[in-house]
Amino acid sequence: MIDTTIVSDNFEKADKSSSRFRNIQLTIFLSGLSVFAQLYLFQPLLPTIAKDFKTSIGDSSLLVSSSTLGMALGLFFFAFKSDSFSRKYQMLFALLSSSLLTIASAWIESLPLLILMGIVKGFVIAGVSAVALAYLTEEVKVSFIGLAISMYLNGNTIGGMSGRIVATIPDGEIGWRHTVMIIGLISLILALIFWRYFPDSRFHQPQKTDFTLKLKQMKSFVSDAYVLRLYFIAFLVMGTFVSVYNYLIFRLESPPFSMNHFFIAFIFLMYTLGIVGTTIVGRFSERMEQRKILKTCLILMFFGVLLLLSGNLIVVILGLAFLTLSFFGVHTMASRMVALCAKEGKSTATSLYWLFYYFGSALLGSGSGYFLHATSWSWFILLLGGVVLLSYVLSFKKWMKLNKN
């Protein structure tokens, strides 16, 4: 049996017609599905949990922010250690351990302990996100990297959508604890499928971590104006996106909408537009200037946020559609631009990207909740609109190196 963890010039990178590429597509999709189903499973449950624990909107949102904060901390750790581990077994450990933590969280009676467990779970889940993009750029032929990355991000999208829908629909019937248990068991099954079919690395060999080199790589990325602004764009748009989906449920349950939780669950079907967004951007990025695609998506995202000011349900749904479609377009484009920019230290570059991304989710995601509690929905939306505008300013050509396409 060939040891596929050893780098060899005899191996060719996976192309679209190979069974290896199809296995990579399937399993990288399932890994994204599992990660995001677990990471945001508490988001649609926030109103129920706030009532159950008798706490505020902002405090209940810490269940979402704790996981993303843990993810950010884990990504910082893996930025140093990822190259020391097998890509496959790092991801497998993350998928197995996170599913077991999700199952265990169904029995936790203390909100602070549940928040702490969320941090731990986010930390271990980071083992997937820290190396997924690096694995794809290492193992897949350049002409198919965009397709492979889109498949991973589609897994993220469907995972986020299905996790929220699965969590919301039975919540009113069986309670949030049984709902969390179901998602944990499904994630465990996905981890076992991943174990069976995910191909070992052929172009990465685990090596001891050179901390000096890692720090040098980090310094080079954060001192690069082009890459740093992509990191901040990820921070800002992710914070905006999570903020909307965190608190829109509270808005829809209240007048003038007064919607039942069963119907609110189907709002998360809007995530299917994320698949459309990543697919469209993945295809256009091969033949259009990447910065222009990024700016277009940011403009659409801004208008989507502003439409959420409306008291008309159809307008709100339209705004959420624009927001979701364009957010995933921005995310796909920015992550691709970072991955392709890094000629060396790809796992470090992508780990830093995810670090900013999840810090945005954690800090803006909860911070905006306290802002909403202190003000109103209108001021909350205007704040998020300003955040998206700032992201757009960061994408201006004068800020982005002209030699980056």
- Distances in Å between the Cα of 330 and the Cα atoms of 85, 323, 336, 391 are 30, 10, 10, 10
Kindly report, residue by residue over 201-226, the tens digit of the pLDDT: 887 777 776 778 778 888 888 888 88
Minimal CA–CA distance to 187: which of 269, 92, 273, 123? 92
pLDDT band, residue 3 (cuts 50/70/90)? very low
Kindly report, residue by residue over 313-358, the tens digit of the pLDDT: 999 999 999 999 999 899 988 988 888 887 777 767 877 888 899 8
pLDDT of 148 higher than 60: yes
Q: How far apart are CA 293 and CA 300, in angstroms?
A: 11
* pLDDT of 124: 95
Select the highest-mean-pLDDT range: 143-152, 176-185, 196-205, 315-324. 315-324
* pLDDT of 377: 96
* pLDDT of 320: 95
* pLDDT of 4: 41
Q: How many residues can be counted in the chain?
A: 405
Q: How far apart are CA 366 and CA 64, in angstroms?
A: 8
Residue with tokens 């702490």: 116
pLDDT of 399 higher than 70: no
Kindly report, residue by residue over 36-81, the tens digit of the pLDDT: 889 888 888 888 888 888 887 778 888 889 998 998 899 888 878 8
* pLDDT of 405: 43
* pLDDT of 52: 86
Q: How far apart are CA 173 and CA 162, in angstroms?
A: 18
pTM, rounded to two decimals: 0.78
* pLDDT of 402: 42
pLDDT of 103 higher than 90: yes
Q: How far apart are CA 326 and CA 277, in angstroms?
A: 6
Domains identified in the chain and CATH numbers: 20-197+218-394 (1.20.1250.20)
Between 16 and 347, the higher pLDDT residue: 16
pLDDT of 247 higher than 50: yes
pLDDT of 7 higher than 50: no
* Average predicted confidence (pLDDT) for the chain: 85
Which range (7-21, 106-120, 191-205) has the least confidence? 7-21
